[in-house]
Amino acid sequence: MLIQFSVTNFLSFRDEVILSLSTNKDNSHKENLLFYKNERILPSVAIYGANAAGKSNLHKAMRAAIRMIRSSNNLQIDQPLLITPFLLDENSRNNKTKFEFIYVYNGIKYEYGFVLDTQYVWEEYLYEYRSSKPSMIFERSNINTYRFTSKSKPQLSKIVDKNTSNKLFLATATSWNSDLTKDAYMWFSNMVDTYDSQNLEELMFKEFEKNDNSLNEFILHLLQKADINITNFNYETNEQLKIMTSHQVIENGKKQEYELNYFDESNGTKRLFTYGPVLKNALENGKTIIIDEIDNALHPAMTKSLIEMFQNPNINKKSAQLIFNTHEISLLDLNLFRRDQIYFVEKDNKTGVSDLYSLDDFSPRKSENIQKGYLQGRYGAMPVVNLEDIEW
């Protein structure tokens, strides 16, 4: 369960921005909330903003940090790190990038962060919360200077020499069987994922190869929920995966069934197919998923239905979370979301710097028309369209 993510100096985010899934004291939609001890956590977050404002850059920041952790052990000595800082001022382009996560795994709350550039990991730290106060597991500074507690030192100090200046100690220690870092690492390995249109379809094909009948049932339920005229589908996983959908129509007063190839279906239908494995996996295992442009090719009612799956405790029994960006303003509704579930990304066109902030910062009334306020520019994060000064 993700509680907070922050990033500094990555792509258009020059200054630190914080995405918090920890709630305020507002009791709106309290039946939808997730819990860690006495802390209330959001099941979903929607992120809005104009084109090129930086919404996808936040998605890329989370993806880059997670991939860095997962792939750290595969790095060769002196292999460059694929990090792009803010490039539109001289100081930032030569400065370091920072990522930090606060999350819960196996009933323990962790705080993990690291600072790096394209060559070295300069700082890194891991804390756990066995009580209300954090306890250090390790701290790293100046690339290769480490601090441990009397409890963690006997085990972790032996692993320092196994690490290199471009690798994350969290990943290295876990690969050397440290039980002090294992759970903190496994959350990144198994419990959080980022998705966009490029990897959704590839993942779906891999999942179908497992021949999981329950996945078929889940996808068919999604399709029928969307009122799509598909009564069934089947697939073959020989040399190449082939999906055939069954459509029932009335022909000459009689019911007839015809098959279509998956690739002949509409983009919206194909998108629901690709969401099937992702949503099923998240809901069954309590994962946090981050989706770029969730509404791509989907009707607003269907997008809303997907979000409501995570906000329904009868469906979301394992505390899964959904973080997504979207342009779909019909979802800007306080009957669907709490005020702290709606975020905006706005870019300063004079500096190129993106900022991230919550609707809750504006303290709108619960009866306020959020859609109207957003379109009127009341919360920022709207494009300024001026066609009059353009020569056509």
| Spans of all domains in the chain | 1-191+286-387, 198-285
β-partners of residue 145 are 141
Supply the pTM of this predicted model: 0.93
Q: Is residue 162 over pLDDT 70?
A: yes
* Of residues 182, 30, 14, 39, the one with CA closest to residue 97: 14
State the residue for tokens 């200077």. Answer: 145
Cβ atoms of 212 and 276 within 8 Å: the answer is no
Backbone angles phi, psi at 301, to 5 degrees: -65, -35
Where does 1-191+286-387 sit in CATH, by number?
3.40.50
Distance (Å, whole) CA 84 – CA 27:
40
As given in the structure block, the two tokens for residue 297 are 């090719």
Closest CA to 53 of 3, 13, 93: 13
- Residue written as tokens 């066609």? 387
Mean pLDDT of 122-135: 94
Task: Centre a 10 Å sphere on the Cβ of residue 222 and count the other Cβ atoms it contains.
Answer: 20
CA 388 to centroid of chain Cα atoms: 39
Q: Which residues pair with 285 in a beta bridge?
A: none
- Average pLDDT estimate for 179-191: 97
Q: How many other CB atoms are found less than 10 A from the CB of residue 27?
A: 11
Distance of CA 128 to the CA centre of its chain: 22
Residue 392: is its pLDDT beyond 60? no
With b for 16 or more beta-carbon neighbours within 10 A and e for fewer, the 356-385 pattern comes to: bbbbbebebeeeeebeeebeeeebbbbeee
Amino acid, res. 7: V
Closest C-alpha among 282, 229, 234 to residue 262? 234
For all residues of the chain together, what is the average pLDDT?
Answer: 92
pLDDT confidence of residue 108? 97
Output the six-digit token pair for 267: 């983009």
Residues with Cβ within 8 Å of 367's Cβ and at least 6 positions away in sequence, in order, are: none
Runs of H (alpha helix) within the chain: 55-71, 90-93, 153-156, 169-175, 182-190, 197-208, 213-225, 267-285, 300-311, 370-375
Size (the chain), residues: 392
What tens digit of pLDDT does each residue of 78-115 get?
Answer: 899 999 999 999 999 999 999 999 999 999 999 999 99
Model confidence at 174, pLDDT cuts 50, 70, 90, reads very high
Q: Write out pLDDT tens, residues 48-67.
A: 999 889 999 999 999 999 99
Highest mean pLDDT among 72-81, 118-127, 204-213: 118-127
Q: What is the pLDDT of residues 197-238, one digit of tens each?
A: 778 888 888 888 777 788 889 999 888 888 888 888 888 777
Would the pLDDT of 33 be above 70?
A: yes
Q: What type of residue is 227? A: D
